[in-house]
Amino acid sequence: MSFVITARDPETRARRGRLQTAHGIVNTPIFMPVGTRGSVKALSPAELEELGAEIILGNTYHLFLKPGMEIMELAGGLHDFANWRRPILTDSGGFQVFSLAKLRKIEPDGVRFASHIDGTRFFLGPRESMAIQRTLGSDIVMAFDECTPYPATYEQAEKSLTQTLRWERISREQELKPGQMLFGIVQGSMFRDLRRHAAAELAKMDFDGYAIGGLSVGETEETMFECLDWTVPELPEDKPHYLMGVGTPKQIVEAVARGVDMFDCVMPTRLGRHGSAFLRDGSTLPIKAGRYARDFAPIDEQCDCYACRNFTRAYIRHLMNVGEILGIRLVTLHNVHYFINLMRRIRFAIENGTFSSLRAEFH
């Protein structure tokens, strides 16, 4: 497996690259649609391929609970189970340590959860997380960490980071399947010295890639960008950089300018289910609003997705307001297309020396 940088923007840290995985090449900067339970909500694998999705995400915690690893083993792994032949990245369950704080207890070797489904108790630590992801057969495996709560005191963040670095060392020691890559995750909350310390310690472990976690958890956008300014320059330059769970189009463009290569976020599918469609400039259109009842333009005149080529705002609004599933599917399809196409525009701009102009569009 390899990562090659093929172009750089002369005015920023933005770079264009290619990541070779066991299931194909991922062109960076890349947006990865989120398929938490083995499916990107409202879209089929064939639709995702047609949209140009090169890699999707799965969730270790949720797939461990349902369908469970016995079924996953019988299916031959997540690729076969979901009929997705392109690359998959699986998170480690570390975000659930943050998001399900009321249902877990942190211990030295991992986390004891009460299932959010039925209360069943189970243990998830670095060894267990690596074993689950080995069974899933994902191309990119994430080390087990704790997504540090926000806000956190310095003492809380330091304690959390110490635990995370220990878990990531144990993750690094576990055996994976041939061809699987392992990414480390930088934590440290909003403290510069902790972020830099985490990056330095993870670099010593020689991961295949490096993620920045613990952002987009309630901090301001300005703070997020400041943390990236501290962190990304400390990461190995020849490895991919992944900003977890981010974000809006503007945030993605700004993170690319700071040297980030990979992104994921539930925003395009979640907003799609609630009737918000992205426009070219990164703003959103609330298509369920009454003012679109007689609007026979497409969602976005500049978009060439299936929804915009074939349907009007008025029709999609009607579908959404009467609860027809097609409405959710069309807005979701449009939004995922928007994010994938945004990354194409970013890659083209980096290659052609026009990234700063594109960046200015989002301000």
Residues labelled catalytic: 91, 264
Task: Please name which of 358, 338, 363, 336 lies closest in space to residue 346, comparing C-alpha atoms.
Answer: 358
| Contact call for residues 131 and 174 (beta carbons, < 8 A) | yes
What whole-number distance in Å separates Cα of residue 176 and Cα of residue 131?
A: 8
Which tokens in the block code for residue 295?
A: 């609007």
What whole-number distance in Å separates Cα of residue 31 and Cα of residue 306?
A: 19
Q: Which pairs count as long-range contacts for 77-81, CB under 8 Å and 24+ apart, including other chains?
A: 77/135, 77/136, 77/137, 78/38, 78/136, 78/137, 78/138, 79/23, 79/137, 81/38
What whole-number distance in Å separates Cα of residue 146 and Cα of residue 213?
A: 9
218: which residues sit within 8 A by CB, 6+ positions away? 150, 151
Edge to edge, the sheet with strand 2-8 lists 2-8, 15-21, 24-28
Task: Please name which of 199, 106, 209 lies closest in space to residue 160, comparing C-alpha atoms.
Answer: 106
182: which residues sit within 8 A by CB, 6+ positions away? 140, 141, 142, 143, 171, 172, 176, 207, 208
- The HSE-up count of residue 286 (CA atoms within 13 Å, CB side) is 3
Backbone torsion region of residue 84, taken as left when φ is above 0, otherwise alpha when ψ lies between -120 and 50, otherwise beta: beta
Task: Please name which of 16, 22, 10, 120 lies closest in space to residue 65, comparing C-alpha atoms.
Answer: 120
